[in-house]
Amino acid sequence: MDSLKQQAQDYALGTLPKEDAILFEALLEQDEHARKCLIEAQEDCANLSLAAPFSEAGEDLRSRVMESCQSKKDFTPFLDTAEINRLRENYVTPDQRYLGGGASVDLNDIAEGKVQDDLHRAYESLIDLFPLVSGDSAAASGDLGSLGDWIGNGVGNGSLLSSHMDEALNHSLSQEHKDPASRSTQRSLLAALPSLTFFINRVREKSATLADVRRIFYLCRDQLKIMRASFADLDPTRLADDEKLRVHGAGLLRSKWWGAEHSYFSGNGNVRCGHFFDGPVTERCVEFAEYDSNLYCLANLLASRTGNGEFHIELLKDAIPGGVLAVAMAETPLENHDEISRIVAGSQEKGKTPPKDFALWNLIEESMLRGHQSFDPDTLRDNPHHGCQRFENGTYLWFAWPNVPNAQEGADAVTGNPAQ
């Protein structure tokens, strides 16, 4: 097969890389043979679909197709609010861009040896879990037998779902001075792990779908990176690869959040994604892990408080000069919004709100100090790079992050290493 026909087939199937697709589209405008090849490729695809045996579309496929037909949430009115205008007018990018890793500590920095052991065992279990849900696994093809056996035998439950993790979290929350080791523990246990354990439980209860396996894959991958970025001595070899320059695009975030179900302890909600911009977000895996954990913290705060069972996530590049604005929004009853407002303000009224929810916002706040290279919390209070506000009938949570300058548009990270 000549290269032009191959290009036409790849283009028709949607597998032609973006740069090659742009060149092929330019060729179509002036080359009759290229247009003929594309028509033939499209006809081949049509004939293939007619020859394929009939199969019922799964619930996940139907819901994702229906979501793609729905209009996206319009954030324009929110972007015209006084608080975002203030951010837009005062936002300044740091002289040297933060590349992640600034919150890393050693496991040995945790005072309690038992907490060290529990976190290490949890990480090792995640390493074992990852190949069971990866693209070439039996579970990814719909056979959950091996995955169910692994979870059913208590391997996953022993390290991921047991009370040991609750003990580790409670220990970190009880530290008076909120030392860096406690923050790293909270980031490891509060960002992606609650949702991951929710879907692992579904497998254990034999109620999981193929969509749940895909969600476990994304959550497991993210959790591994977050833990490595939090504890430098946990897996030095893989961390060394995470620290290499590797641009991560917004498309990576949209692919895992689009149409996803997300859970945070007792609450869960369906995620609706905006268009996201087409371009880079971070420059290293360790930076992406921190950015990821910030998004998970926003999602966790909204998942249990949404009024209609869903929340929206959008990444906006042109909303502020020199930065990317991440926004999470949900329609919320007024009492739920008030609770989130108290969390943001740090007001623990009568102990109604769990301490772990306050920790979520503190993790974001400290990340903003690192990302914008300010070590004075009062600086961010005077000109906040993150915030919460009520607009119409919704709660909007947001944070700004310095953009990646002079990077190739739409670039995504690619790695052949497992668990990276």
Q: What is the DSSP letter of 207?
A: -
Specify the pLDDT at position 273: 81
CA contacts within 13 A on the Cβ side of 63: 11
Which three-class secondary structure string do you get for 324-369?
EEEEEEEECCHHHHHHHHHHHHCCCHHHCCCHHHHHHHHHHHHHHH
Neighbours of 135 (CB within 10 A): 8
Paired residues of 248 in beta bridges = 282
Q: CA 369 to CA 70: how far, in whole Å? A: 37
Q: Global pTM?
A: 0.81
Residue 370 or 22, more confident? 370
Q: Report the chain's mean pLDDT, rounded to a whole number.
A: 84
Same-domain status, 232 and 322: yes
Q: Does the residue 58 lie in any domain?
A: no
409 falls within a domain: no
Would 70 be classed as within a structural domain? Answer: no
Nearest to 68 by CA among 255, 212, 258, 269: 258
- Domain containing residue 193: CATH number: 3.30.565.10
Query: Quick one: pLDDT at residue 190?
Result: 94
Would the pLDDT of 193 be above 60?
yes
283 part of a folded domain: yes
CA distance 318 to 303: 27
Q: What is the pLDDT of residue 160?
A: 63
Q: Please report where in the chains the tokens 């972007």 appear, as a residue.
A: 79
Q: Same domain for 35 and 153?
A: no
At 278 the pLDDT is: 82
Tell me the range of 57-61, 151-155, 412-416 where mean pLDDT is highest: 151-155
- The reported pLDDT for the residue numbered 58 is 58
Q: Is residue 183 part of a domain?
A: yes
Strands 261-264 and 245-249: unpaired
Residues 56-87: pLDDT tens digits?
A: 655 655 555 555 555 677 889 999 999 999 99
Render pLDDT for 85-140 as a digit per residue (tens, 0 to 9).
999 998 988 889 999 999 999 999 998 899 999 999 999 999 999 999 988 899 98
Are residues 196 and 135 part of one domain? Answer: yes
Q: Looking at the structure, tell me whether residues 323 and 389 fall in a common domain.
A: yes
Query: Does residue 43 form part of some domain?
Result: yes
Indicate the helix (H) or strand (E) that contains 239: helix 236-242
> Residue 64 domain-assigned?
no
Are 330 and 370 in a shared domain?
yes
Residues 263 and 150 in one domain: yes
- Each residue of 294-331: pLDDT tens digit? 999 999 999 989 988 889 999 998 899 999 999 999 99
Render 245-270 in DSSP notation, one character per residue.
Answer: EEEEEHHHHHHHHTT-EEEETTEEEE
Residue 132 and residue 41 share a domain: no
Range from 145-149, 171-175, 218-222 carrying the lowest mean pLDDT: 171-175
H or E element in which residue 100 lies: none
The domain tally of the chain equals 2
Query: Quick one: 213 and 283 in the same domain?
Result: yes
User: Based on the domain organization, do 245 and 349 belong to the same domain?
Assistant: yes
User: Same domain, yes or no, for 37 and 88?
Assistant: no
Measured CA angle at 98 (ends 94, 99), to 5 deg: 155
213 in the same domain as 115: yes
State the Cα angle at 240 between 234 and 242, rounded to 5°: 90
- Tokens representing 97 are 């861009």
Residue 420: the pLDDT is 45
How far is 347 from 349, CA to CA, in rounded Å?
Answer: 6
The arithmetic mean of pLDDT across residues 3-22, rounded, is 77
Question: 384 φ, ψ to 5°?
Answer: -65, 135
Within a domain: residue 358?
yes
Whole domain around residue 315: which residue ranges?
76-402
**Domain match, 98 and 41 both:** no
φ/ψ of residue 266, rounded to 5? -85, -10
CB half-sphere exposure, 99, CA atoms < 13 A: 11
- The C-alpha atoms of residue 1 and residue 120 are separated, in whole angstroms, by 52
